[in-house]
Amino acid sequence: MTQTTDFLAPARLGRLALPNHLVMAPLTRNRAEADGTPTDLMVTHYAERASAGLIIAEGSTPNAAGQTYPDITAIHTDRHTAGWRQVTDAVRAAGGRMFLQLQHGGRVSHPATTGLTPVAPSAIPLPETIFTPGGHRPAAVPREMTADDIRATIADFAAAARRAVEAGFEGVEVHSANGMLLHQFLADNTNRRTDGYGGSAARRVRFAAEVTEAVADAIGADRVGIRVSPASTVNGVLEEDTGALYAALLDRLKGLDLAYLHLVRSDPGAGWYRRIRADWPGTLIGNPDLTGLTTEAVTRAAREMLAAGADLVALGRPFLANPDLVERLRLGAPLNPVRDRYFMYVGGAAGYNDYPALDRQPSSDSMVARDGARVA
């Protein structure tokens, strides 16, 4: 891509022409049906945000064991595929483009949610409680994946990618971040294996690489991105060798000619960010760690991200609270504040589809009154 700090200028992502450099980041919001099928609420939610250069839809599980929390989306049955098709049709009709994130929770799961024992690289439980249909519960000890489990899970990711294309997505993002299954294989505190998938950094990256390779084989590498979160400790992961780990992963992946590499909470001043940008030959999506959710803060962060070598900028909460975020940033208009009370586990339109666009913005007094009525 041609380097620019104008995030509102047109861009390209492989074969896709994008109207701007802004990406709506994947955000789990627990608004699916109990079986993982997308709902009408989600059709509305994503269609209203179709002005993003690209939408990456929330993490969807490639099999039943991969489910993390109640009411998250999935992509392993015909019903899931048909539900997602309604979403992509609506977004495309509104002029948008979508990828779907493929996410397996690994140990970030619970039998009370799935009816299954969680699986993970090693039998090491999540060091915190996890939300289930019955509320927060102590984490379950996962079952260490066998060689057969690994092969079957790789095949499930590839099948999910094919379903995603059938459902109308332009491509998929392999989720290897935030302490989910692929990240659990990467991190040495969650991967104590002694076989070919554990030990050295080169062996710990093998599972993530094989999943990505299988997905690329299934639908074409130009339809596949991967998301990573170097140095993240989310969901109890800890990398003692971040530099060597991601150098090894990129060595496995950079010859595939993937659509993009997506870096969570990208800090342009971090050594790992500069090394990855220098080493990655393709499109890089930077996800800035925002210091504020004002128009000025988001604009500044997006420009800094592009100036530091990112090709596209992924934003989460700004898009969540502002269906017309692109237009607000273009005009310098104020942003809606995020109401964390309705962020997850609550269902319904509140905090999801009731954020107003500029042309239907209520006064600040009525907004406070309306929110106060809900909280009460």
Strand, helix or coil at 258?
A: coil
Query: Taking a C-beta distance cutoff of 8 angstroms, is the pair 51, 328 a contact?
Result: no
pLDDT for 341: 78
Query: How far is it, in rounded angstroms, from Cα 5 to Cα 224?
Result: 25
| pTM of the full structure | 0.94
Q: Which residues of 148-178 are buried (b: 16+ CB within 10 A; e: fewer)?
A: eebeebbebbbbbbebbbebbbbbbbbbbbb
CA distance 256 to 272: 21
Q: What is the pLDDT of residue 361?
A: 65
**Per-residue pLDDT tens digits of the chain, which is 376 residues long:** 445 679 999 999 999 999 999 999 999 999 999 999 999 999 999 999 999 999 999 999 999 999 999 999 999 999 999 999 999 999 999 999 999 999 999 999 999 999 999 999 999 999 999 999 999 999 999 999 999 999 999 999 999 999 999 999 999 999 999 999 999 999 999 999 999 999 999 999 999 999 999 999 999 999 999 999 999 999 999 999 999 999 999 999 999 999 999 999 998 888 899 999 999 999 999 999 998 999 999 999 999 999 999 999 999 999 999 999 999 999 999 999 998 877 777 889 999 999 999 987 654 433 433 333 322 2
The 3 state secondary structure assigned to 343-369 is CCCCCCCCCCCCCCCHHHCCCHHHHHH
Position 374 scores a pLDDT of: 29
| pLDDT given at position 345 | 78
